Chains A and B, each alone.
Chain A
Amino acid sequence: MPDIQVILADLGWPLAIALAWLSGEFVHRWTRLPRISVYGLVGFLLAQAFPEALSSGASSNVTILANMAFGLILFEFGYRINLHWLRINPWIAVSGLVESAATFGVVYLIAHLTGMPPLTSLLLASLAMSTSPAGVLRVINEENSSGQVTERVLHLVAINSVIAVFVFKVVVGFWVFQTSGSLTQAVSHSGIELLVSAAMGAVMGFIVPALLRRLGALAQDGTIAFALGVILLVAASRAFDVSPVLATLTFGLAARHKRVAFSRTERNFGGIGELLTVLLFVFAVSTLEWERVVDGAGLAAVLLLARFLVKTASVAAFAHVSGIWWRKGVLTGIALSPMSVFVTLLLEQTKYMGIVLVDELAALTAMTLLLEVVGPMITQRALIWANESPSQEEK
């Protein structure tokens, strides 16, 4: 007779994913709320009810799959970024830099005022700058939205996520330097890691399109080749301890600027991509604990409100000069709400160094949960209010 604990451990994740998917479908059909919000909520509730069944270590299969899922989304995200636009209309880049810097400053200030240690405040501020590419892209694809809010959100997320990874790594480097006293070690943990990640992505972005061109089968085989590229890149990033986030994002960017077809009909990488997304969003909250959420709720609410206001005001300030009306500027800022998945995976990769911010910092736990569930809803609302999502009768 098999042990009930063993059965639960084996069935835990598949059941959680199935339940999350089913709930996502029902709730989306009834309320039109984003599916990913439901995945997160179901994942969190199940993780509280059955903590043993949904456990995941840094090298567990689930963590690896979640990283793959995130890699696929980041590739697709990078593929949609047009760097040329940032040169033609520099105000987009300026608003990205300003909203990131202002968010960093305000969150650091609030954290500092509440008596948080400077290093923790810096890490928290750097994470708060980012918007989750996964959350935003999934909502955009689900809504099939198009227009200036959609385009700008994608580009601003790319800017603030890259800055967030960069600043986060620099702070981590600084932390390594403080604890180990070794400058070499500190530099290798930040600068070199970033450079190597980007280089790996760029090389993959060169190899895959070249291979596809040689095969002469761009339209048919593009999706599989890119998916395999992402899987290899994520595995290599883990093996070399570099950032899969930057690597996969750079891969997408490089492939796009090589003008290689990634068929639009294969958005989300088809059915397998959808499946991995459910896993990713369930996984992202499975490490959070209810007690910490409650403990940190107060500070989290203040930080989130500040982040929301700063981002919205910063983007809206440059709306007119960058060619849109102020209303769309405000909505672009509002759409930058999601944050959680990005944060979870970034911290997951830093855990081995002893930085376990999510466990130590109750406010971050609450922020992550809130933004995983509510963030996509806010982005969806912003797209609907901007008239960039087809109305219900047109869908």
Chain B
Amino acid sequence: MSLKAIALGLLATSALAGSAVAQDQIKIGVSIPAATHGFMGGLNWHAAEAEKRLEAANPNIDIIIVTADGPADQASDLEDLVSVHQIQALVVLPFESEPLTEPVRAVADTGAFITVVDRGLTDPSIQDVYVSGNNTEMGEVSAEYMMTRLGEGDNIVILRGIPTVLDTERFDAFMAKIEGSGINVLDNKFANWNRDDGFEVMQDFLSRFPDIDGVWAQDDDITLGVVEAIKQAGRESEMFVVGGAGMKEIVKGVMDGDPLVPVDVLYPPAQIATAMDVTVNHFISNGPVTGSYILGSPLITQENAEQFYFPDSPF
């Protein structure tokens, strides 16, 4: 990575000496969390893919991706992007909104173009572009699908993520949508976006409730654990599971018509690529790109699954 950056840097310098065109060399920093779980793994992969694609298509664009293990680490990354790489634009997925707001403002103060992804900053006026998935819509779409399959008197259980704003948005939207449908939510528990916890929480739900018709697992990692627990109990025929995100194993299952996981709801890890595209467009397009880009959370069904399937992605 750094070797490549140095090589590109050298190339850029030599080109600068040679011709005037090279003055247009644009450096874009991309700061994202490290790949510590499935979704972030997918996001990292899509970022790397977008880098290859954009740099190949635009020789004057140089993209530098850095990954951080925590908010403090990410703040240091931002400083390095400014001081070492002297970036003209920043694409950032903040670890946490609050602590990263000032560091991103510092980058904006250097005159850089700022694109914020997924988790917003506490002061949105800092950003030029905001790209995000839609947690509210994700909850609503999941609820709408539940309502097509279930009705008055049917029972569901919910496995939530980690207690964060993101999770609350999804959960509240879901609950608001199914209100009045007569669908009974037996209970909800946190499974921490983790398949081991998904397995254990579902085991407990299964021993507690003899009659479950549907499961909202909210996330595909949790879904994998839930599916194993249902199979262990031999209750595959009684219920179905709705996950979320767009993990390739789940999307493949939907494509193949798995009755236990008939659909998935998209929360795209590829949104980082959208953000990078928009940012590059700011430099090469003749139209304005500022504003908010809220990506849809469509229902992935057997019919459309193929367009959401990325077999090479780790997620």
State whether these chains interact: no
